Amino acid sequence: MKIIIVTGATRGLGLAVARQCIADGYKVVAVGRTMTEELAFLLQQYSECIDFERYDFSDTEGIHLFAVQITKKYGRPWGLVNNAAIGRDGVLATLHERDIADLIKINIEAPILLTKYILRPMLINRCGRIINVSSIIATSGFNGLSVYGATKAALAGFTKSLAREVGKAGITVNTLAPGYMETDMTSALQGDRLESVRRRSPLGHLATVEDAAYAVSYLLSEQSSRVTGTTITVDAGSSC
Ligand SMILES: NC(=O)c1ccc[n+]([C@@H]2O[C@H](COP(=O)([O-])OP(=O)(O)OC[C@H]3O[C@@H](n4cnc5c(N)ncnc54)[C@H](OP(=O)(O)O)[C@@H]3O)[C@@H](O)[C@H]2O)c1
C-alpha cells in the first residue's frame, strides 16, 4: 500500500482528504494535535488503512525527528499533503505580533521543513507526490487576511521552485488552491460576508471539502505524473 502523509487530518479538508485517500486504496498517516470523533471513527472502521500520529507543528525543531520516525515506522511515503494551517483574522494594523509569528511558523516554516525531510526518502524512491494546500486568497486577497494570504502565497511560490528541483527524480509538486469551504477555519465568516462570497460563484454555491479532496486525489494519482509546478483551483468559479 502506498503511504500518504496528510497533515491537519483531524477535521475539515484534511479529514476529507484522508477519507478520499482510503477510498483510493492508500495507507494514510493522519497528523494533527487533537483526536476528533470523525477521525476516531475512520481509525476504527479502516484500521488497516489509516493511523494517527500526534504532532504540533509549532514545534518546528522536532520536525526532522518526526519525519525520520514516520519513515521508519511506515516506510518511504508516496505522498505528502501539506494541509495543516491556522487562520488568524484581523487587520494588519492591530494584528498581534504573536499571531503573525504563529501564522508564519505553522503555515510556512513547518510545511517547508516537513517537506525537506520527507523528500529524502522520496528521492531514494525516485518517485512521489507533494501537494501544498494554499488558497485563492493568495492571489485574490481578502480584507483582514493579509498575513494568512502571504503565507498561502509563500506555499504556492515554494511549489514552483521545488517542482523544478525534484522533477528529474520523478517527484511532482503542486498547489491546491481552495476557495471558501465550510470548516472550523471559516466558521466566523457568516451573514452578509458569507453571502457576498457565495454571490461571487458563477455556480451559485460554494466548494466543499469533498470537491477539494477529489483534486488532491488526482494530484496523488499515477495519472497526474506529467502535472507539476501548477495550481489546481477548487472554488466553484469564485475567482474566475
Ligand atoms: N476552509 C476554507 O475555506 C479554506 C479555503 C482555502 C484554503 N484553506 C486551507 O485548507 C487547509 C485546511 O483548512 P480547514 O478549513 O480544513 O481548516 P481547519 O478545519 O481549521 O483544520 C485545520 C487542521 O490543521 C491542523 N492544525 C492546525 N494547527 C496545527 C498545529 N499547530 N499542529 C498540527 N496540526 C495543526 C488541525 O488539527 P488539530 O487542531 O488537531 O491540530 C486541523 O486538522 C488549510 O491549509 C487552509 O489554509 C481552507
Per-residue pLDDT tens over the stretch 71-89: 999 999 999 999 999 999 8
Distance, in Å, from the CA atom of 125 to the CA atom of 133, rounded to the nearest integer, reads 24
Q: Which residues sit opposite 50 in a β-bridge?
A: 28
- Residue 196, pLDDT > 90, answer no
Question: Which of 11, 55, 107 to probe ligand 1 with, by most ligand atoms within 8 A of CB?
Answer: 11
Give the cell for residue 28. Answer: 494514510
239 CB less than 6 Å from ligand 1? no
- Residue 95, pLDDT > 90, answer yes
Please give the full DSSP string across 159-192, using - where no structure is assigned. Answer: HHHHHHHHGGGTEEEEEEEE----SGGGTT--HH
- Residue 193, pLDDT > 90, answer no
Per-residue pLDDT tens over the stretch 23-63: 999 999 999 999 999 999 999 999 999 999 999 999 999 99
Radius of gyration in angstroms for the set of CA atoms belonging to the chain, rounded to a whole number: 17
Q: Where are the domains of the chain?
A: 3-234
Distance, in Å, from the CA atom of 88 to the CA atom of 195, rounded to the nearest integer, reads 21
Per-residue pLDDT tens over the stretch 105-141: 999 999 999 999 999 999 999 999 999 999 999 999 9
Per-residue pLDDT tens over the stretch 11-24: 999 999 999 999 99
CATH fourth-level superfamily of 3-234: NAD(P)-binding Rossmann-like Domain (3.40.50.720)
pLDDT-derived band of residue 7, with 50, 70 and 90 as boundaries? very high
Q: What number does the ligand 1 atom closest to the CA of 148 have? A: 47
149 CB less than 6 Å from ligand 1? no
The CA–CA distances, whole Å, from 23 to 6, 35, 97 equal 14, 21, 42
Q: What number does the ligand 1 atom closest to the CA of 9 have? A: 43
183 CB less than 6 Å from ligand 1? yes
Q: What pLDDT does residue 24 have?
A: 98
Percentage of the chain lying above the pLDDT 90 cut: 94
**Atom 20 in ligand 1: residue holding the nearest Cα:** 185
Q: What is the DSSP letter of 26?
A: P
- In degrees, to the nearest 5, what angle opens at C-alpha 34 toward C-alphas 58 and 68? 55
Residue range 155-174: average pLDDT? 98
Q: At what angle do helices 63-74 and 110-125 cross, to 10 degrees?
A: 40
Q: What pLDDT does residue 169 have?
A: 98
**Global pTM?**
0.98
